[in-house]
Structure 1
Amino acid sequence: MNSSKFAVAGATGRLGRHVVDVLTERGHHVVPMSRATGVDVITGAGLAEALTGAGVIIDVASWHASDEKAATEFFRTATRNLHEAGDRAGAGRLVAVSIIGADKATAGFVASQQVHEEAALSGPLPARLLRAAQFHEFVGQLLDWRQGDVAYVPNLPTQLVAARTVAEALVDLATAEEAPAGPIPEIAGPRKEIMAEAARLLGARRNIEVVGLDNAKVPDAELAASGAFLPGPHARLAGPTFREWLDAQP
């Protein structure tokens, strides 16, 4: 296996660009794969060429919306294509990112990760998974989804983590000689936060009013309120906190 050459699916996305940066900084040969680079993980266009000589495939491609059915179909198709093309190209393994609490989810985007994980683990290539908490960057997305001048954000617990921190953990997992024993590894931020409170910090900088909702109509709200999507005791916790990350933004 040529372990020094890494193919990154979703290379131009929120997480993928950090994965490419971390791999490059660590001296690895990186092949960025996205539609912008002529590779489509759904149609398979350009996939065989991009994977030629790659030892490890890192899958951080993601669906752009929260619809569970569409997201499930995306992950099922993309993961199957990466496995099959990677197997033909002689890749050594597939490493994919999922979401903390995916195994407990019953609806929404997080539930689509169950199919994603199953597809990753059942393909021809050996696979490794990393479950991550919601990214710091997700808070800005919540504000972008608002209608009007006020953003309504759930008062739900989370353990927000920087995408760069997730990328570092993912590259550590991808480059480790041996697959980790025990439960699926997790990466999360250093402390529990309330999503609406984090949104207020960002909203203050954007002049957006944020109203926290105690009974938000979001998928699995009761599960989230009970802490089902918080990291387990085996999780790796790493900074920066949301405020520290926000203060460092240009």
Structure 2
Amino acid sequence: MSITTFAVAGATGRLGRHVVDVLTERGHQVVPMSRATGVDIITGEGLAEALTGVEVIIDVASWHSSDQDAATEFFRTSARNLHEAGRKAGVARIAMASIIGADKATAGFLAAKKVHEELLLSGLLPVRILRAAQFHEFVGQLLDWQQGDVAYLPALPTQLVACRTVAEELVELATAPAAPGTPIPEIAGPRKEIMAEAAQFLGARRGIKVVGVDGSGIPDAEIAANGGFLPSPHAKLAGPTFQEWLDTQP
């Protein structure tokens, strides 16, 4: 196996930590990029220095809220900066993590990710995209956003997948030979679930009652209810299931 030097944008985030771990375990050189490591992909601070000698950028940096306009501006700026600094540094390509169904989105964070994909694909460097289902870890975040002993979460279909599983697939994509003409790859968990029902398992641990609701007020809830954000037939499905993953968490 040839050793490649990777820069990971968003290296300290929920997915980024796993990407760094997978790359390190496979013997690659890793440059972690986040504000915590002195690299800001929005202001550009430290970016040129971090990309010196880097062959591949893996972009898993994300905006911290679901606000569509703010997220879109974040992705617009990060895409431009990574392409410009990457080209100057001689980077070969960018691999990025997106979300299954982003191409169908009309509002909310998913619509911002749709723009993110388009901006990266229209940039100076070759780009590879992996679309992933919602993470197992996202369920806890949904509960964190709620207040009190009862949480109201959407009873919408999903196919939850572990961050570690996504990281492994993203590293495979970033290092694989080019395969032009193939559809954008997808990674999802092994089975379809209802978000609210999955959250009930975690809620029971936390002493929170989870009540499923119809998703009113959630961007593109109708698309989600009709399965628009579930994996395509060509998607790779991989465990663990949400319950299996939950059993391994402290």
TM-score range (shorter-chain normalised) is: over 0.9
Matched residue, 1:243? 243
Q: Which AA in structure 2 matches 1:129?
A: I
Tell me, in whole angstroms, the C-alpha distance in 1 between the residues paired with 2:195 and 2:184.
25
Matched residue, 1:111? 111
Matched residue, 2:163? 163
Tell me, in whole angstroms, the C-alpha distance in 2 between the residues paired with 1:98 and 1:112.
10
8 Å CA contact retained: 1:3, 1:55: no
Matched residue, 1:71? 71
Tell me, in whole angstroms, the C-alpha distance in 2 between the residues paired with 1:147 and 1:206.
12
Matched residue, 2:223? 223
Q: How does 1:1-250 map to 2 (within 5 A)?
A: 4-179=4-179, 181-250=181-250
Q: Secondary structure at the match of 2:66?
A: coil
Tell me, in whole angstroms, the C-alpha distance in 2 between the residues paired with 1:205 and 1:35.
33
Q: Secondary structure at the match of 2:103?
A: coil
Deviation at 1:178, TM superposition (A): 1.9
Q: Secondary structure at the match of 1:210?
A: strand
Deviation at 1:77, TM superposition (A): 0.4
Tell me, in whole angstroms, the C-alpha distance in 1 between the residues paired with 2:59 and 2:20.
12
Cα deviations by residue, 1:83-115 (Å, 9 ceiling, x for unpaired): 100000000001111110001011000111111
- 117-126 vs 165-174, which moves further: 117-126
Q: Which AA in structure 1 matches 2:218?
A: V
8 Å CA contact retained: 1:153, 1:195: yes
Tell me, in whole angstroms, the C-alpha distance in 1 between the residues paired with 2:180 and 2:204.
41
Tell me, in whole angstroms, the C-alpha distance in 1 between the residues paired with 2:184 and 2:190.
19
What runs of 5+ residues in structure 1 fail to find an aligned partner?
none
Cα deviations by residue, 1:143-196 (Å, 9 ceiling, x for unpaired): 000022211000000000000000000000001122364211000000000000
CA RMSD of aligned residues (A): 1.1
8 Å CA contact retained: 1:153, 1:196: yes
Aligned-residue sequence identity (percent) comes to 77
8 Å CA contact retained: 1:97, 1:170: yes
What runs of 5+ residues in structure 2 fail to find an aligned partner?
none
Q: Which AA in structure 1 matches 2:75?
A: F
8 Å CA contact retained: 1:189, 1:241: yes
8 Å CA contact retained: 1:3, 1:54: no
Cα deviations by residue, 1:105-140 (Å, 9 ceiling, x for unpaired): 110001111110011111111110000000000000
Tell me, in whole angstroms, the C-alpha distance in 1 between the residues paired with 2:223 and 2:114.
16
Q: Secondary structure at the match of 1:103?
A: helix
TM-score (norm 2): 0.98
Q: Which AA in structure 2 matches 1:233?
A: P
Deviation at 1:8, TM superposition (A): 0.2
**Number of aligned residues:** 249
8 Å CA contact retained: 1:129, 1:184: yes
Q: Secondary structure at the match of 1:187?
A: strand
Q: Secondary structure at the match of 2:102?
A: coil
- 34-43 vs 180-189, which moves further: 180-189
- CA distance change for structure 1 residues 95 and 201 in 2, over 3 Å: closer, same or farther? same
Tell me, in whole angstroms, the C-alpha distance in 1 between the residues paired with 2:214 and 2:115.
30
